[in-house]
């Protein structure tokens, strides 16, 4: 084979394969891409205390594993050049060859191994963990097909397979030497020597490593993604002996495990597909020398019983010792409180697929319930509420309960969300162990979400406050000094205008749509979901349209409303919302009375590389979820950092953005969580708002009567019916406040200077939302490790 070369510094590279750790006191070569300096630094202070009964599993080194079913990485080329400090040199070299770097970068496929915020968070965390010099690994699944490509045909979403590996993947390296067997099915024998899981079917897990370079610190971490392979004797060993061809064809059954990313965002995958989480968990628990395993939601929750199985059945640790280590190792991040997104796996399924794990879960549950019963005697209802197993109807495992019980820390992803987790959704658990519950407000990496996507703004900032802010984003507060600096204000406005012009050109080239670059770019991009309320935005569009038509001579601040996002293929209402937006757009965009005042664009196939284009070009960021439903949001932070103003509800991290920038520097409107709770208590009646608000009535009547879809007048009857009779997200209740708030937005936009000053105040306040800050908090409060934060210059300087 070819000799592998380190992406940073071949001279300092550790030869492959790294020698496995042998025992306490041994010098150990850790990861394949990890540089020795950062490794030694993070290993200092590591504990090596092989407790009673510990044999092979010894906690030697501070290795952190971030377990996630999604890593939404996007493209890698430009990010690699930036983090290695090679971008200018590469640009120059490519130019000398008569090529254009940007054109080259456009050729790379997105690694779309994620749905939205949760997967992108994992990707931002990898960047920050490497930048902070933590010996941290991302562990996940190497899907052969990532998130589908979205096509819009006649206004409808059509899904296309994302064959992202078609031309190969230059960033990964298969590591067959680390292949592992993963067991499924079979049965459990209880012997004098303990439980034995026998007659299993084996699937092989083949890891692929991708380097994760830190920003200018001579450190490279590893993302290890696992691919399912059928063993050569699959379906041949015990049966089907006669049918060789069929046995080869059946290899697909095993390999389907890592075939395709499940395209549901904020929805629990249905039973039967969770083989995936099991597969990853099994691959991951064999890491052996973790000090911390962070679970990105409950998707990889089976890692908990799997680690217990390894300790108890294989390493023969006593249960209590095994449980103590397991709890100290795992930590769980909750990402949503929407009931449809909380995972509940059917017991029947787990019993067939993983009989030993189910027994272990039962044992965990028994001890957990015994403990509660001892604290709260005769409180049967509490036992029922807190059980890991839900009875009544299909018996199910409550995966969040398993994660809470099996972890030493549970965190939400923004202050308001963590509060809801602690005081509402899991309040019984918080009553039991209040100190377990934490908050870790999400963040984004400023390397990709500023340096990479908005070099104009990044440079302008560096001119004013130096370049250190890239590693310490809190330094952005220094920009407050320049809020009244007329030259700086003009320069910030100019960069935005340039970004808008560039994006307009892109739309014209790729989609043949012409937009007015001096109009306000009002952008709502994220997964399409009822709770994110793209419908409310749509009602605002219709309202603006009606106002223009009612009085065409009246001053109207021109807007280009851009909405983008994918709907889960099985989510009917989300797909209808896309169709509605496109249908309204068709009418609005072709009405001569409207002209260039209002344009509506549905941005096809929203993904990481498209986010990098549209966010720097945005004036107004739409973050309008029903209060209490968006756990954090990270799109909101990207926009803030890139000089957009936010119109939003007091939900998720919007609350903290308002806290940082001052509420007067955001366009906050609508119900707060308390108001929503109160309205629920009274009973939400959509009809009331419809009867009271003539513009809402007009918009709804138009949608209902086929004004926008004359050939199919009934097209949106499901949507309208939902809005009146079962709108869990109360669109009508916030409509009036939203429209009024949008009027204020338009008014401010007329005053370019005042607008830009508010933009500067927002950028100056965005420092908190660096994922470096988030990761430092995880390191300090959950993982108990010291980031080394190396500042070694790259070798070529
Ligand atoms: C950041 C990001 C998201 C998350 O956006 P939210 O507005 O927080 O839901 C989703 N998709 C992509 C491509 C992103 O980059």
**What atom in ligand 1 is closest to the CA of residue 652?**
8
* pLDDT for res 439: 98
**466 or 9: which carries more pLDDT confidence?**
466
At 369, which helix (H) or strand (E)? Answer: helix 355-375
Which residues have any ligand 1 atom within 6 Å of their CB? 116-117, 120, 526, 606-608, 611, 633-635, 638
Query: Residue 637 C-alpha to ligand 1 middle, in angstroms?
Result: 10
Model confidence at 15: pLDDT above 70: no
What is the average pLDDT across 441-468? 98
Confidence bin at 291 (pLDDT 50/70/90): confident
Could you tell me if 91 and 101 are in contact, meaning their C-beta atoms sit under 8 angstroms apart? yes
**What atom in ligand 1 is closest to the CA of residue 610?**
13
**What atom in ligand 1 is closest to the CA of residue 606?**
13
* pLDDT for res 270: 61
Q: Is 502 helix (H, G, I), strand (E, B) or coil?
A: helix
* pLDDT for res 35: 30
Query: Residue 454 C-alpha to ligand 1 middle, in angstroms?
Result: 17
The superfamily CATH assigns to domain 65-344+409-439 is Glycogen Phosphorylase B; (3.40.50.2000)
In this structure, the residue with its CA closest to atom 11 of ligand 1 is 116
In this structure, the residue with its CA closest to atom 4 of ligand 1 is 117
**What atom in ligand 1 is closest to the CA of residue 74?**
13
Model confidence at 409: pLDDT above 80: yes
Ligand 1: which of 113, 635, 641, 774 to mutate, judged by most atoms within 8 Å of the beta carbon?
Answer: 635
* pLDDT for res 634: 98
Query: Residue 648 C-alpha to ligand 1 middle, in angstroms?
Result: 15
639-642 long-range CB contacts below 8 Å, 24 or more apart? 639/523, 639/615, 640/762, 640/763, 640/765, 640/766, 640/769, 641/444, 641/446, 641/449, 641/450, 641/763, 641/766, 641/769, 642/449, 642/450, 642/453, 642/454, 642/457, 642/615, 642/616, 642/618
Model confidence at 21: pLDDT above 70: no
Ligand 1: which of 116, 523, 562, 640 to mutate, judged by most atoms within 8 Å of the beta carbon?
Answer: 116
Strand partners, 330: 293
* pLDDT for res 786: 82
Model confidence at 172: pLDDT above 70: yes
Cα dihedral 496/500/501/504 (nearest 10): 180
Nearest Cα to 260, choosing from 120, 125, 70, 528? 70
Query: Residue 525 C-alpha to ligand 1 middle, in angstroms?
Result: 7
Confidence bin at 267 (pLDDT 50/70/90): confident
Q: Cβ contacts of residue 499 below 8 Å, gap of 6+?
A: 454, 456, 457, 616, 617
The proportion of the chain whose per-residue pLDDT surpasses 70, expressed as a percent, equals 87
* pLDDT for res 618: 98
Confidence bin at 374 (pLDDT 50/70/90): very high
**What atom in ligand 1 is closest to the CA of residue 444?**
1
Other beta carbons less than 10 A from residue 238's beta carbon: 9
Model confidence at 541: pLDDT above 90: yes
Query: Residue 72 C-alpha to ligand 1 middle, in angstroms?
Result: 10
**Distance between CA 181 and CA 191 in Å, rounded?**
23
Q: How much is the pTM?
A: 0.92
Ligand 1: which of 119, 341, 526 to mutate, judged by most atoms within 8 Å of the beta carbon?
Answer: 526
- Quick check: is 408 catalytic? no
Model confidence at 11: pLDDT above 80: no
What is the average pLDDT across 468-489? 98
Model confidence at 332: pLDDT above 60: yes
- Quick check: is 532 catalytic? yes
Ligand 1: which of 611, 615, 629, 653 to mutate, judged by most atoms within 8 Å of the beta carbon?
Answer: 611
What is the average pLDDT across 392-413? 96
**Distance between CA 696 and CA 227 in Å, rounded?**
51
**What atom in ligand 1 is closest to the CA of residue 632?**
8
DSSP string, 508-568: HHHH-----TTSEEEEEES---GGGTHHHHHHHHHHHHHHHHH-TTS----EEEEEE-PPP
pLDDT digits (tens, 9 = 90+) for 158-168: 999 999 999 99
C-alpha neighbours within 13 Å on the C-beta side of residue 434? 3
**Fold observed for domain 516-755:** Rossmann fold (3.40.50)
Confidence bin at 280 (pLDDT 50/70/90): low
What is the average pLDDT across 8-21? 29
Query: Residue 446 C-alpha to ligand 1 middle, in angstroms?
Result: 15
Model confidence at 554: pLDDT above 70: yes
* pLDDT for res 277: 63
Choosing from 75, 527, 533, 597, which is the catalytic residue? 527
In this structure, the residue with its CA closest to atom 7 of ligand 1 is 635
Range name among 226-235, 316-325, 406-415, 782-791 with the lowest pLDDT average = 782-791
Choosing from 634, 649, 756, 774, which is the catalytic residue? 634
What is the average pLDDT across 176-181? 89
* pLDDT for res 247: 86
Choosing from 120, 142, 229, 335, which is the catalytic residue? 335
- Quick check: is 527 catalytic? yes
Ligand 1: which of 414, 447, 527, 630 to mutate, judged by most atoms within 8 Å of the beta carbon?
Answer: 527
For the ranges 181-195, 215-229, 729-743, the one whose mean pLDDT is highest: 729-743
Model confidence at 567: pLDDT above 60: yes
In this structure, the residue with its CA closest to atom 9 of ligand 1 is 526
* pLDDT for res 281: 63
pLDDT digits (tens, 9 = 90+) for 607-623: 999 999 999 999 999 99
In this structure, the residue with its CA closest to atom 15 of ligand 1 is 608
**Distance between CA 653 and CA 417 in Å, rounded?**
9
What is the average pLDDT across 611-638? 98
Phi, psi at 182, each rounded to 5°: -120, 130
Model confidence at 125: pLDDT above 80: yes
**What atom in ligand 1 is closest to the CA of residue 612?**
15
Other beta carbons less than 10 A from residue 24's beta carbon: 13
Confidence bin at 401 (pLDDT 50/70/90): very high
Could you tell me if 517 and 504 are in contact, meaning their C-beta atoms sit under 8 angstroms apart? yes
Choosing from 532, 559, 704, 757, which is the catalytic residue? 532
The proportion of the chain whose per-residue pLDDT surpasses 90, expressed as a percent, equals 80
* pLDDT for res 735: 98
Query: Residue 634 C-alpha to ligand 1 middle, in angstroms?
Result: 6
The owner of tokens 């965005």 is: 766
What is the average pLDDT across 319-346? 94
Model confidence at 744: pLDDT above 50: yes
What is the average pLDDT across 124-151? 95
Q: Cβ contacts of residue 553 below 8 Å, gap of 6+?
A: none
Range name among 5-9, 84-88, 529-533, 538-542 with the lowest pLDDT average = 5-9
Q: Cβ contacts of residue 149 below 8 Å, gap of 6+?
A: 159, 160, 161, 162, 605
- Domain ranges in the chain are 65-344+409-439, 516-755
Model confidence at 40: pLDDT above 60: no
**Distance between CA 468 and CA 463 in Å, rounded?**
11
In this structure, the residue with its CA closest to atom 5 of ligand 1 is 635
Confidence bin at 62 (pLDDT 50/70/90): low
Confidence bin at 140 (pLDDT 50/70/90): very high
* pLDDT for res 289: 57
Query: Residue 299 C-alpha to ligand 1 middle, in angstroms?
Result: 19
Query: Residue 123 C-alpha to ligand 1 middle, in angstroms?
Result: 12
- Quick check: is 638 catalytic? yes
pLDDT digits (tens, 9 = 90+) for 217-259: 989 999 999 999 999 888 765 555 578 888 889 899 889 999 9
Model confidence at 392: pLDDT above 90: no
Nearest Cα to 556, choosing from 598, 618, 500, 524? 598
């Amino acid at each position: 084979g070819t000799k592998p070369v380190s992406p940073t510094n071949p001279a300092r590279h550790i030869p492959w394969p790294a020698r496995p750790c042998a025992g306490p006191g041994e010098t150990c070569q850790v990861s394949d891409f990890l540089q020795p300096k950062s490794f030694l630094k993070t290993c200092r202070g590591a504990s090596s205390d092989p407790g009673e009964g510990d044999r092979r599993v010894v906690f030697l080194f501070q290795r952190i594993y971030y377990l996630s079913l999604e890593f939404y990485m996007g493209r890698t080329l430009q990010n690699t050049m930036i983090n290695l400090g090679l971008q200018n040199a590469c640009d120059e070299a490519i130019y000398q060859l008569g090529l254009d770097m940007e054109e080259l970068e456009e050729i790379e496929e997105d690694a779309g191994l994620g749905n939205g915020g949760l997967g992108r968070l994992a990707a931002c965390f990898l960047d920050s963990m490497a930048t902070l010099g933590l010996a941290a690994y991302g562990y996940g699944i190497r899907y052969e097909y990532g998130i589908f490509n979205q096509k819009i045909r006649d206004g409808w979403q059509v899904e296309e397979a994302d064959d992202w590996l078609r031309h190969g993947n230059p960033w990964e390296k298969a590591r067959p030497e680390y292949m592992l067997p993963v067991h499924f099915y079979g049965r459990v024998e209880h012997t004098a020597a303990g439980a034995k899981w026998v007659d299993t079917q084996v699937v092989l897990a083949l890891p692929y490593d991708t380097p994760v370079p830190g920003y200018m610190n001579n450190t490279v971490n590893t993302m290890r993604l696992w691919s399912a392979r059928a063993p050569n004797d699959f379906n041949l060993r015990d049966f089907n002996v006669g049918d060789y061809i069929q046995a080869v064809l059946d290899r697909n059954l095993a390999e389907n495990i890592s075939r395709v990313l499940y395209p549901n965002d904020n929805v629990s995958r249905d039973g039967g597909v969770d083989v995936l989480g099991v597969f990853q968990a099994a691959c991951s628990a064999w890491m052996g020398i973790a000090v911390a395993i962070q679970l990105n939601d409950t998707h990889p929750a089976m890692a908990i019983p799997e680690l217990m199985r390894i300790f108890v059945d294989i390493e023969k640790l006593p249960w209590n010792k095994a449980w103590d280590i397991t709890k100290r190792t795992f930590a769980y991040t909750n990402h949503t409180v929407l009931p449809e997104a909380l995972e509940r796996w059917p017991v029947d399924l787990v019993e067939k697929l993983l009989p030993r794990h189910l027994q272990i879960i039962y044992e965990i549950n028994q001890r957990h319930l015994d403990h509660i019963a001892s604290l709260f005697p005769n409180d049967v209802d509490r036992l029922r509420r807190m059980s890991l197993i839900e009875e009544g109807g299909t018996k199910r495992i409550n995966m969040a309960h398993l994660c809470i019980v099996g972890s030493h820390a549970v965190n939400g992803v923004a202050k308001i969300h963590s509060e809801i987790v602690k005081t509402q959704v899991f309040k019984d658990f918080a009553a039991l162990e209040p100190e377990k519950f934490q908050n870790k407000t999400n963040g984004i990496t400023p390397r990709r979400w500023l340096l990479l996507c908005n070099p104009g703004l990044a440079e302008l900032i560096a001119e004013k406050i130096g370049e250190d802010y890239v590693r310490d984003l809190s330094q952005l507060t220094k920009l407050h000094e320049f809020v009244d600096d007329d030259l700086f204000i003009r320069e910030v406005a100019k960069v935005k205008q340039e970004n808008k012009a560039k994006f307009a050109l892109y739309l014209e080239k790729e989609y043949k749509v012409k937009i007015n670059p001096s109009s306000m770019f009002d952008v709502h991009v994220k997964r399409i979901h009822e709770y994110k309320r793209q419908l409310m935005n749509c009602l605002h569009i219709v309202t603006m349209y009606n106002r223009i038509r009612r009085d065409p001579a009246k001053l109207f601040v021109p807007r280009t409303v851009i909405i983008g996002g994918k709907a889960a293929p099985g989510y009917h209402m989300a797909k209808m919302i896309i169709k509605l937006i496109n249908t309204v757009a068709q009418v609005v965009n072709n009405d001569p009375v409207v002209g260039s005042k209002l344009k509506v664009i549905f941005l096809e196939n929203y993904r990481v590389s498209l986010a990098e284009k549209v966010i720097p070009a945005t004036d107004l960021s739409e973050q309008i979820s029903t209060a209490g439903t968006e756990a954090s949001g990270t799109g909101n932070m990207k926009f803030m950092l890139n000089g957009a103003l936010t119109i939003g509800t007091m939900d998720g991290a919007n609350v903290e953005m308002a806290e940082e920038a001052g509420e007067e520097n955001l366009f906050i409107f609508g119900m707060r969580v308390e108001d929503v709770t109160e309205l629920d208590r009274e009973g939400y009646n959509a009809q009331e708002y419809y009867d009271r608000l003539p513009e809402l009535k007009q918009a709804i009547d138009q949608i209902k009567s086929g004004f926008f879809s004359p050939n199919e007048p009934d097209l949106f009857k499901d949507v309208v019916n939902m809005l009146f009779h079962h709108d869990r997200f109360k669109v009508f209740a916030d409509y009036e406040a939203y429209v009024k708030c949008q009027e204020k937005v338009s008014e401010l936009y007329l005053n370019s200077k005042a607008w830009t000053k508010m933009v500067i105040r927002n950028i100056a306040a965005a420092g908190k939302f660096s994922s470096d800050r988030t990761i430092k908090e995880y390191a300090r409060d959950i993982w108990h490790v010291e980031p080394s934060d190396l500042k070694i210059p790259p070798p070529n300087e």
